[in-house]
């Protein structure tokens, strides 16, 4: 294909169409519920229990027969005999007869013979009896067995990402072990003779490889398992061996650097020599125009290997470009790959810019900064300093990217702008 620039939304749609999610049978693992945060359910789980498990009280008060208290009022209270007290977790021992009641606490089982709860605020205790000072509604404050969910019904659907609410549901349903997809394995390598690791002495002309660490962190945040493969020199044979090795270890491969038009940019040529189909060579995005997306056809798998083709993302080497490319294109692919049923694409919201946002107009431009919730609504504050793709210093604290569309050179301060979330929204 040609190296013409593809619009961002078109590129995202194409990438997602190529992603084949993990297999719910081959890629399933069962883990303890305490380890399930952020994992994705591989199968739909059913409830082994009724919810509630039995008729119970929603309030502290008295369990009564509605017919006994239907006419109660402050002027003509009904007096009932308290024959039992039922703390939470205890089984009622009496069948309540006409003229009787049981003291009951929130969550306690309803005793047989009763159908309504009178809250304690509408009663007055008198020794072994209690005055009912107001007539309740029939079946007031009774949570009926199976009114939330019946045993055998679906509880949570496959493809759901598990967070505290879902984990609470699973715990309540006694799912102590949970069937989830394994984490997608993502191989990460950096290319360039100029790169050194953070623990190495920095010589003139060298650059510390921050991309590998940032991309590994982003892969983890997206639910993947990073497989760091280190720095590969600008040597075609070394790069060929590294990419070939990465393809055997991972569901997806990320490299940074080597995808532009420089004399030492070998990635695209090597991918084709290894049998890849180069689907995307450039996107109409700034920063991050050089983006290679390639597919390696699936081959006959060994035991435990995936049948699906492997996706390769060749990201730009400039740090900001690499991160923007990941947020915009790679993260959606990983979210689909991981088995999530929906919610793959980035989230865009509208905010008002605190500063002028400038762009060249030829490409969709992403400007990094901070999105906050204020009394006036969402506001976007541009990060200070240079917005160069090589300047990652002012990227710290970024939780959003303001998007200046193609054909627009200025979004004036105070005007609305589309903002892509890449972190949690703060509050001013």
CATH number at 364 reads: 2.40.340.10
- What's the pLDDT score for residue 20? 94
- What's the pLDDT score for residue 353? 97
414 domain-assigned: yes
Determine the 3-state secondary structure of 239 from DSSP.
helix
The rounded distance, in Å, linking the Cα atoms of 118 and 133 is 9
- What's the pLDDT score for residue 342? 95
Together in a domain, 156 and 66: no
Together in a domain, 213 and 332: yes
- Give the CA distances from residue 368 to residues 95, 246, 274, 284, 380, in Å, rounded to whole numbers and listed in that order: 67, 31, 36, 17, 9
Q: Write phi, then psi, for 236 (nearest 5 degrees).
A: -55, -40
CATH of the domain at 131: 2.170.190.11
252 domain-assigned: yes
The rounded distance, in Å, linking the Cα atoms of 135 and 119 is 10
Question: Which of residues 90, 119, 143 is at a domain's end?
Answer: 143
From 193, 213, 194, select the one nearest 204 (Cα to Cα). 194
- What's the pLDDT score for residue 260? 67
Together in a domain, 237 and 372: no
- Give the CA distances from residue 205 to residues 83, 201, 218, 394, in Å, rounded to whole numbers and listed in that order: 87, 12, 28, 22
Determine the 3-state secondary structure of 326 from DSSP.
helix
Residues 6+ apart with CB under 8 A from 350: 378, 416, 417, 418, 419
Together in a domain, 280 and 137: no
343 domain-assigned: no
- What does the chain come to in residues? 428
2 domain-assigned: no
- What's the pLDDT score for residue 258? 77
CATH of the domain at 189: 3.40.980.10
Together in a domain, 15 and 41: no
361 domain-assigned: yes
What b/e sequence results for 244-261 when a residue is b if at least 16 CB atoms lie within 10 Å of its CB, and e otherwise?
A: eebbeebbbbbbbbbbbe
The rounded distance, in Å, linking the Cα atoms of 100 and 84 is 9
Strands 225-232 and 185-191: parallel
292 domain-assigned: yes
Domain that holds residue 381: 348-427
Question: Which of residues 159, 180, 201 is at a domain's end?
Answer: 180
Tens digit of each residue's pLDDT, the chain (428 residues) = 345 899 999 999 999 999 999 999 999 999 999 999 999 999 999 999 999 999 999 999 999 999 999 999 999 999 999 999 999 899 999 999 999 999 999 999 999 999 999 999 999 999 999 999 999 999 999 999 999 999 999 999 999 999 999 999 999 999 999 999 999 999 999 999 999 999 999 999 999 999 999 999 999 999 999 999 999 998 999 999 999 999 999 999 999 987 765 655 788 999 999 999 999 999 999 999 999 999 998 654 555 555 567 999 999 999 999 999 999 999 999 999 999 999 999 999 999 999 999 999 999 999 999 999 999 899 999 999 988 888 899 999 999 999 999 999 999 999 999 999 999 987 65
Together in a domain, 328 and 230: yes
Q: Are the beta carbons of 91 and 109 closer than 8 angstroms?
A: yes
Together in a domain, 202 and 331: yes
- What's the pLDDT score for residue 1? 36
385 domain-assigned: yes
Together in a domain, 97 and 211: no
- What's the pLDDT score for residue 307? 53
User: What's the total number of domains in the chain?
Assistant: 4
1 domain-assigned: no
CATH of the domain at 43: 3.90.105.10
The rounded distance, in Å, linking the Cα atoms of 321 and 309 is 26
Together in a domain, 216 and 159: no
Question: Which of residues 284, 305, 337 is at a domain's end?
Answer: 337
Together in a domain, 197 and 300: yes
Together in a domain, 190 and 273: yes
Together in a domain, 300 and 316: yes
Whether omega for the bond prior to residue 287 falls within 30 degrees of 0, making it cis, is yes
Q: Are the beta carbons of 25 and 120 closer than 8 angstroms?
A: no
């Amino acid at each position: 294909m040609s190296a013409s620039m593809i619009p961002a939304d078109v590129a995202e749609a194409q990438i997602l169409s190529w992603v084949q999610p993990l297999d719910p049978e081959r890629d399933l693992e069962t883990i303890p519920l305490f380890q399930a945060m952020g994992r994705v359910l591989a199968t739909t789980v059913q409830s082994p229990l009724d919810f509630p498990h039995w008729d119970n009280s929603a309030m502290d008060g008295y369990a009564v027969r509605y017919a006994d208290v239907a006419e109660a009022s402050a002027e003509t209270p009904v007096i009932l005999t308290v024959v039992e007290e039922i703390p939470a977790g205890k089984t009622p021992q009496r069948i309540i007869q006409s003229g009787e009641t049981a003291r009951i606490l929130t969550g306690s089982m309803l005793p047989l013979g009763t159908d309504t709860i009178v809250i304690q605020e509408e009663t007055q205790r008198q020794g072994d009896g209690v005055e009912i000072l107001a007539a309740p509604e029939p079946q007031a404050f009774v949570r009926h067995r199976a009114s939330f969910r019946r045993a055998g019904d679906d509880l949570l659907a496959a493809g759901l990402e598990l967070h505290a609410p879902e984990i609470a549901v699973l715990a309540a349903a006694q799912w102590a072990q949970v069937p989830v997809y394994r984490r997608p394995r993502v191989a990460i390598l950096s290319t360039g003779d100029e790169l050194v690791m953070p623990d190495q002495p920095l010589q003139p002309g060298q650059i510390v490889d921050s991309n590998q660490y940032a991309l590994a962190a982003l892969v983890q945040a997206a639910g993947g398992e990073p497989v760091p493969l280190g720095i590969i020199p600008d040597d075609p044979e070394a790069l060929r061996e590294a990419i070939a090795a990465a393809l055997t270890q991972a569901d997806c491969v990320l490299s940074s650097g080597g995808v532009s038009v420089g004399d030492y940019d070998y990635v695209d040529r090597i991918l084709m020599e290894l049998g890849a189909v180069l689907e995307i060579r450039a996107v109409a995005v700034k920063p991050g125009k050089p983006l290679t997306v390639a597919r390696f056809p699936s081959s006959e798998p060994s035991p435990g290997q995936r049948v699906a083709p492997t996706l390769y993302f060749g990201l730009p080497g400039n740090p900001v470009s690499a991160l923007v490319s990941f947020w915009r294109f790679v993260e959606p692919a990983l979210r689909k790959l991981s088995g999530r049923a929906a919610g793959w694409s980035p989230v865009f919201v509208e905010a008002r810019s605190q500063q002028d946002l400038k762009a060249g107009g030829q490409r969709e431009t992403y400007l990094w900064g901070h999105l906050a919730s204020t009394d006036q609504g969402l506001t976007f504050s541009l990060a200070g300093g240079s917005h160069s793709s090589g300047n990652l210093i002012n990227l710290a604290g970024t939780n959003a990217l303001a998007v200046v569309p193609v054909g627009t050179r200025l979004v004036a301060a105070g005007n609305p702008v589309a903002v892509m979330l890449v972190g949690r929204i703060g509050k001013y």
